[in-house]
Amino acid sequence: MEDFLLAFLNWQIVQEAWPILWDGLKSTLALSAMVVPLGIAGGIILAVLSTLPSPWVRWPLRVWVDTFRALPPLVLLIFLFAGLPFAGVDIGAWGAVAVGFFLNTGAYYGEILRAGIESVPRGQIEAARSTGLTSGQTMRHVVLPQAVRNVLPDLISNTLEVVKLTSIASVVALPELLFQARQAQSVTYNATPIVAAAVVYFILLWPVVRLLSRLENRQLASRR
């Protein structure tokens, strides 16, 4: 028991490692603040494009979305970081993470928002167009706000996944929380920093999880 506490829940190690972990937490927050808006922006673009009837848009879009949903994000990230330099394109760790998340999470946000857009009744669009709004204005002021509201739990749930997924940036040596925890672990020869990082993730995300289940319950109740 003593050994267990010393190896995993060693308070002294936490104190020692905390500055390193704190830097990691800041990077994780910065990373999330970058990739979540990027993914949502990518998702909005894909979802709006998916409303165009032309097969010249539809099919390439389908292939695009399917590709980036099927490709493991870790494979994509390593390709962007370690593969592209062979073609003379070196976008660095942050660049690789930005592009990778834009492609991967954009595809997921896109599918969620597309379902949201499709849930808005046709009459809403007709009413807006009959008052002279352009299709772009109709999308922005009438359709998207309702679409987002209709799929809010799914959007939050996906955002939760995206924030957790930022930990894969550790494989390209981006000093986010998990990477820093590994650093601290190797400096201190102790597993406590990993446990501490897990606790930090939990504290960060648990409120979002609570919010999500309240939203889901409310949505269930309103369907009854």
Partner 1 sequence: MSPAPIVDARAIHKHFGHLHVLKGVDLQVAEKELVFLIGPSGSGKSTLLRCLNRLEDPSSGSVVVDGIDMLDKRTDINKARQRIGMVFQSFNLYPHMTALGNVALALRKVQGLGRAEAEAKGRAALDRVHLAEKAETYPLQLSGGQQQRVAIARAIALEPRVMLFDEPTSALDPELVGGVLAVMRELREDGMTMVVVSHEMGFAKAAADRVVFMSDGMIIETGAPAEIFANPREERTRAFISQIERH
Distance from the Cα of residue 119 to its chain's centroid? 23
Contact between 123 and partner 1 by CB under 8 A: the answer reads yes
CB of 147 to partner 1, least distance (A): 10
Count of helix runs (H) and strand runs (E) in the chain: 11, 0
If one counts every other C-beta atom within 10 angstroms of the C-beta of residue 175, the result is 18
* Nearest alpha-carbon partner for 9 in 198, 182, 167, 178: 198
Of the pair 149, 164, the CB lying nearest partner 1 is at 149
Contact track, partner 1, 160-179, x by CB under 8 A: --------------------
Which of the ranges 30-38, 102-110, 132-140, 197-205 carries the binding residues for partner 1, by CB under 8 A?
132-140
Both tokens assigned to 55: 């097969």
* Nearest alpha-carbon partner for 111 in 23, 192, 40: 40
CB of 131 to partner 1, least distance (A): 4
Contact between 142 and partner 1 by CB under 8 A: the answer reads yes
Contact between 51 and partner 1 by CB under 8 A: the answer reads no
Which of the ranges 30-38, 68-76, 121-129, 210-218 carries the binding residues for partner 1, by CB under 8 A?
121-129
Q: Quote the longest CA-to-CA distance of the chain.
A: 74
Of the pair 76, 128, the CB lying nearest partner 1 is at 128
Contact between 119 and partner 1 by CB under 8 A: the answer reads no
Of the pair 128, 178, the CB lying nearest partner 1 is at 128
DSSP code, position 167? G
* Nearest alpha-carbon partner for 108 in 165, 181, 179: 165
Residues 35, 122: Cα–Cα separation, whole Å: 32
DSSP code, position 120? S
Contact track, partner 1, 63-102, x by CB under 8 A: ----------------------------------------
Using CB under 8 A, list all residues that contact partner 1. Answer: 121, 123-124, 126-134, 137, 141-142, 145-146, 149
